[in-house]
Structure 1
Amino acid sequence: MGVSLYYTARRATPLTDAELTAVGQVVDTYNANAPFSSEEEGLYLYDRLEPGTVLDGSTKLPGADDRAVPSLVHWLAAVTALRSAVPVADWTFTLDDYEIEWDGHTGYHLPGLAD
């Protein structure tokens, strides 16, 4: 059984061309530089969006313990970058059912993870 990250941004107005470009760059950069990029799932954005949703996606974390923490640190930074690309939205970010809270100074992180 795997563990996944889920991220969603909601707002009334669609993404601008500049935001779409920035999101694409974040996805390309973080997927290309993932710790285990050839073997693991990266940022995956869904094509079909609910009304009012401008970004929705998931990332499955590796099951191997030695890969989980480096991958999680990487994907937390990736979703922080996604949020920076689309700052004016209502964001939800979860590790399965556990909500990961936003910190205005450090972005998304889990205490003690990067130590």
Structure 2
Amino acid sequence: MGVSLYYTARRATPLTDAELTAVSGVADTYNANAPFSEDEEGLYLYDRLDAGTVLDGSTKMPFADDRVVPSLVHWLAAVTALRTAVPDADWTFTLDDHEIEWDGDTGYHLPGLGD
């Protein structure tokens, strides 16, 4: 059984063209530079969105123990960049059922992960 990150941004107004470009750039950059991009899932942004949802996606974490921490560090930075690209939305970010808290200074992180 796998573990995944889930990220959602909600607001009343759709993404602007500039935000769409920024989100696409973040996804392209982080997917291309992923630590294990050859055989792991990257930022997967859903095409079908519920009303009021402007961004929705997931990323499956690797099964191999030696890949989990580098992958988490990378994808936490990626979702931080997504949130920066769409700052005025209501964001939800979880590792399966565990909510990952936003920190205005450091973005998304998990205590002890980057040590």
Q: What's the TM-score bracket when you normalise by the shorter of the two chains?
A: over 0.9
When the two chains are superposed, the root-mean-square deviation of aligned CA atoms in Å is: 0.2
1:20 aligned residue: 20
TM-score, normalised via structure 2 length: 1.00
1:23-62 Cα distance to aligned partner (Å, 9 max, x none): 0000000000000001100000000000000000000000
1:113 aligned residue: 113
1:56 aligned residue: 56
2:97 aligned residue: 97
Matches within 5 A, 1:10-89: 10-89=10-89
Q: Whole-Å Cα distance in 2 between the matches of residues 24 and 85 of structure 1? A: 10
| Number of residue pairs aligned between Structure 1 and Structure 2 | 115
Q: Whole-Å Cα distance in 1 between the matches of residues 37 and 30 of structure 2? A: 9
Tell me, what secondary structure is at the counterpart of 1:31?
A: helix
Counterpart of 1:97, as a letter, is: D
Tell me, what secondary structure is at the counterpart of 2:37?
A: coil
Q: Whole-Å Cα distance in 1 between the matches of residues 37 and 63 of structure 2? A: 14
Tell me, what secondary structure is at the counterpart of 1:59?
A: strand
TM-score, normalised via structure 1 length: 1.00
Tell me, what secondary structure is at the counterpart of 1:66?
A: helix
- Hey, which bits of structure 1, 4+ residues long, moved more than 4 A? none
Q: CA deviation at 1:111?
A: 0.4
Tell me, what secondary structure is at the counterpart of 1:72?
A: helix
Counterpart of 1:22, as a letter, is: A
